[in-house]
Structure 1
Amino acid sequence: MLDCRDEVLFYTKQLVNIESIVNTNGEKEIAQVLHAMIASLPYFMEFPEQVVISRTSDDELERYNVLAFVKGTKSDSSDTVILMGHLDTVGIDDFTQLADLACNPDELLEAIKKEALPESVRAHAESGNWMFGRGTLDMKSGVASHLYLLKYYSEHPDELEGNLVLLAECDEEDSSHGILSALKDLQAWKEQHGFNYIAAINADFVAPRHEGDENRYIYKGTVGKLLPSFFITGSETHVGSCFEGLDPNLIAAELTRQLDYNPELCNEALGETTVPPVSLKQMDLKPAYTVQTALSAYVYYNFFIHSWSPKDVLEKLTVQAEIAFTNALTLLKERYERFCRMTGEPCRELPWKVRVMTYGDMEAELAQAHGEKYTRYIEDFKQQLLNDQSLDVRMFAAKTVEEAWKWMPDKSPGIILFYSSLYSPRVELKGDRPEEQNLMEALDKAVAALQPSYSKPIVVRDFFPYISDMSFVALSDDEAALETAAKNNPSWGSKLLVNYQDVRRLNVPVVNIGPYGLDAHKKYERMELEYSLEAVPNLTNMVIKELIGGK
């Protein structure tokens, strides 16, 4: 067992002290500091070419990844294990009056103790076994564990039959520019040094899955994430004649009622089930107040997958959207008829019908109706939108669909279903390849070896349940699935472009062995010291030893 607690704690505090909120200059600063830390180690002073700070590509911001590697000298093997983790964090606004202390764990702990705290938080604050602060859990303690192991093997390269790569990436919390850029660096090293990547070990945080859950989880593979989005058009009318129009907000409300928390949309695979979708935005697209009803609305939902493809999700959500549209029209008809009975006015038959289509189908219809005139126009429109730096990729997609809708020959109310953000692919580790089988066996051996020395159960599951950069080191999807995700994303090729072939070229099996704690992304984010600083580095090291330590 490695006696690593104090050193990993030291590195954790050094990294947490640097405020590295995603999409800020802090991402650049922490990369520079980490690079300097690694470059100052004796091994890397002797081999300076084996540590690099690499700027992200196709990125509007200046930020960097840090990569380093140790070449094992025990034997001349090309087998290579990647240790990966992200350096960025979410913001600190939730710390309110303690924001100045959010990245100073020691002072923050003392300040927190003076607050009125939930009982469980106070118990942890006073126990001496928890570290509070932004990034302590998600996931600088995980990066610190990897840094410790890189340093250890830089001092003991004779213990490795193969090579150990550290990848510390930026922008995990937003758009994954870091890992997507790093794929090219990893490929370059593969070609330059002959690396054969056989496994990747991520160190993102793990947490209880339910109240009272004492398990410390390790994950093989990861959940996939989509952002299905809906542009909803109605029929505008003056509010004084409300039944002469169709309010798109009514359809949006029914859609959210149909999708939010719906167990029918949970994806089960390998005995594990995703959480259902939940709304992340619901709005109409009226630019200002008027006494007219809105012409259109926009909603999008988080959607996790284990085995479904982007095509599967579109098909399932098309059915759900049709149900929601039907429910909205049924409700409107019922209320209109009640209103007519109350007022004595004659009822007419409301003209609207259920109408749902995907963005890909709409694009095909518009191209057939208008030919190159439309396709040139919409591409020029997208180029103009790129000049508006205030638009994120989700609003960029919405505005593109809104503009395309103006070209529809039939503008009767409808729902257009599309994707408006990055697709983070699911990764299933089934043991189909020798590399997968070897990693799974190494993980099982590590858990069996360490469990007797740790009091809480260490449990291996199949899907990391949160969005992570693990999605971009391996692919379980085929080309048709990726093509569907691209074809139905209005931002694809302009505001958003991911070279999934870079992922497929790497295609390395990945597991997550990360720090344990609670309240990631919240004010009382905290990391348990014993498991995170002792068990995690040793579990990771046992896997490394099994894979490239020699027999």
Structure 2
Amino acid sequence: MKYQTPEGLEQLIKYIVSLDSRSGTQGEIQFPHKIKDLLLQMKYFKENDKNIELHDAGDDLSVLTALYDSDIPNAQTLVIMSHYDTVHTNDFGIYEHIARDVDALTETYKTLNDFPEEVQQDIDSDEYMFGRGVMDMKMGLGQHIRMIEKASVEQLPVNILLLTVPDEEVDSKGMRVATTVLNKIRKERNLNYALILNSEPSFMQTPNDPNYYIYTGSIGKIMPAALSYGVETHVGEPLKGLNALFMASTLNAHMEYQTDFNEEVFGEQTPLPITLRSDDLKLDYNTQVTHHVASVYNVFTMKRSANEVFSLFNQVVDDAIKDMMEKYNAACRASSVDPSLNIQKLTYEALLNHAYEKLGRTTVEEILHESIQLKDMRQQSFDIVTNLLQRMKELTPAVVTMFAPPYYPAVNNTDHPLIEQLIKLTKTHVDDVKVMHYFNGISDLSYVDYKDDDASFTDYKKNTPVYDKTYHIPYEDMKKLNTPFINIGPFGKDPHKYTERLHKKHAFETTTKLLDDITSQFYSK
């Protein structure tokens, strides 16, 4: 066996990190094929190569599954899941060329003395290794490769299904395909899924947080969005029109840190909403005011449904429009101008229904088809709304409310008896382990369960312009999985930063023993 010692596992993670898998690159496309080649070096998979499969995830991306089948009737199956894509490396600056070379980067950092104090201490301690993806989350994948090697060589009395997916850092298209794949494999191979184990790393809750966390759920993320569509005018006649930048900035101010979206569950709180993007859609410079601006907001959830979020968002938009109108009317009065404009709010569903009535279904479908040819789903969404409003100027000025992809439903199974058992087991390995009920880093675990009723999802489907066109959530397959889940991974620091690092002893020794002990809980007796 190659990966069962700390030294062997360290060499494995260095190799995996060295493979480019940045989101949206050729590296991400090629990565699963290289992992398949690595797995095929194992004796078990040389003899059972059909147990490794690549599943189409769109855009030339692939989901990789590898099954160790113990051939024991009714054996339990442990599903071990990870994502293999990473964020980009330009934040490493002049060291970008060694961002995926763990040894070179770590040794280079040892020669520098311009890091924040905590980072410098970790460098000097020699307890950490640095590199893009070393923490988030190629160490998790490395552990899973080690686990399936151990199971296959030692012929452990348990089935292990390794799953690794692309695109987690962007839209999770890999996991949204993988949910269906998991159900398909379970049916075809007659497997009994006992646990879905994700191995995202432990995330700090506060700066310099020394605690190690495991997670019994994953926070939800949803993106309400708005197109502010004003009235064009020359900058020398500002009150003859309405600047969409003014509209959007007012709405952004109402949404940023908006406490109405706060949730607290199990003593944990959702982070406050923020504006993720606010883009002027005017493509060139001239002296005409901007008349359409796209804004996307990040809202975290724990218990709140998509319908409830949309209702709250529309209330905030109503308040923002009231504020816009007060400022506009005051400006008109100050300039002795009669106000001539009134801003209305429309949901995307209402806009689309109006378009069908005025423009006809054929024209609307042509608009939708043209817009979804754009590459990015956010751009597609706003292009649809812009093209509809351009043909129905009588509705403007307006703020159109909608959702932009992606949507990560919140999931939690803290009270499941198996999860309670695994929490106790973890505490025998790590004295100071803390249990978090919601992984705060956003994860693909959002797509392994769905317990809301269908009605709570209706506003999302009706008000996401690209839903069932270029974006889909497999919530029926999410319901079918019906398998307990937990996130237990290595300890590291600074994901998505140029100081991303992994604690070596925790990753190669503590986590190894813990995951092996967890696996043993599912052995056939």
How far is 1:285 from its partner? 2.1
Equivalent positions of 1:234-383 (< 5 A) are 234-337=230-333, 339-340=334-335, 346-348=336-338, 350-367=339-356, 369-370=357-358, 373-383=359-369
Q: Is the 8 A contact 2:203 2:440 kept in 1?
A: no
CA distance in 1, matches of 2:425, 2:362: 57
Determine the structure 2 residue equivalent to 1:113: 110
Aligned match for 2:91, one of 91, 94, 102: 94
Does residue 184 of structure 2 align to residue 188 of structure 1?
yes
CA distance in 2, matches of 1:527, 1:186: 30
CA distance in 1, matches of 2:294, 2:360: 23
Q: Is the 8 A contact 1:9 1:141 kept in 2?
A: no
Q: Is the 8 A contact 2:220 2:446 kept in 1?
A: yes
Aligned length: 522
Q: Provide, for residues 373-411 of structure 1, a one-character-per-residue CA deviation record: whole Å limited to 9, x for no partner.
A: 5322222122223444xx310011000011122344742
CA distance in 2, matches of 1:359, 1:385: 15
Determine the structure 1 residue equivalent to 2:454: 479
Q: Provide, for residues 40-89 of structure 1, a one-character-per-residue CA deviation record: whole Å limited to 9, x for no partner.
A: 2122223222222x1424x12x232221122236x532421100001111
**Which one-letter code corresponds to 1:17 in the other structure?**
S
Q: Is the 8 A contact 2:85 2:166 kept in 1?
A: yes
Determine the structure 2 residue equivalent to 1:143: 141
Q: Is the 8 A contact 1:442 1:543 kept in 2?
A: no
**Which one-letter code corresponds to 1:253 in the other structure?**
S
Aligned match for 1:425, one of 409, 425, 449: 409
Equivalent positions of 1:34-183 (< 5 A) are 34-52=35-53, 54-57=54-57, 59-60=58-59, 62-72=60-70, 76-115=73-112, 116-158=114-156, 160=157, 162-183=158-179
Determine the structure 2 residue equivalent to 1:401: 385
Q: Is the 8 A contact 1:4 1:537 kept in 2?
A: no
Equivalent positions of 1:539-550 (< 5 A) are 539-546=514-521, 548-550=522-524
Determine the structure 2 residue equivalent to 1:437: 417
Q: Is the 8 A contact 1:25 1:63 kept in 2?
A: no
CA distance in 1, matches of 2:519, 2:340: 66
Q: Is the 8 A contact 1:224 1:304 kept in 2?
A: yes
TM-score (norm 1): 0.90
CA distance in 1, matches of 2:176, 2:349: 25
How far is 1:139 from its partner? 0.5
CA distance in 2, matches of 1:331, 1:386: 36
Determine the structure 1 residue equivalent to 2:504: 529
**Which one-letter code corresponds to 2:252 in the other structure?**
T
Does residue 488 of structure 2 align to residue 499 of structure 1?
no
How far is 1:535 from its partner? 2.3
Does residue 195 of structure 2 align to residue 199 of structure 1?
yes
CA distance in 1, matches of 2:123, 2:266: 38
Q: Is the 8 A contact 2:451 2:479 kept in 1?
A: no
State which drifts further: 136-145 or 178-187: 178-187
Identity %: 25
The unaligned stretches of length 5 or more in structure 2 are none
How far is 1:298 from its partner? 1.1
Does residue 208 of structure 2 align to residue 222 of structure 1?
no
Q: Which runs of 4+ in 1 moved over 4 A?
A: none
Q: Is the 8 A contact 1:8 1:141 kept in 2?
A: no
The unaligned stretches of length 5 or more in structure 1 are 341-345
CA distance in 2, matches of 1:386, 1:248: 24
CA distance in 2, matches of 1:409, 1:522: 45
State which drifts further: 288-297 or 396-405: 288-297
Q: Is the 8 A contact 1:425 1:477 kept in 2?
A: no
Relative distance call for 1:374 and 1:537 in structure 2 (3 A) is farther
CA distance in 2, matches of 1:481, 1:507: 19
CA distance in 2, matches of 1:153, 1:292: 67
How far is 1:219 from its partner? 0.6
How far is 1:289 from its partner? 2.0
TM-score (norm 2): 0.94
CA distance in 2, matches of 1:48, 1:534: 30
Q: SS at 1:43's partner residue?
A: helix
CA distance in 2, matches of 1:472, 1:487: 20
How far is 1:3 from its partner? 6.9
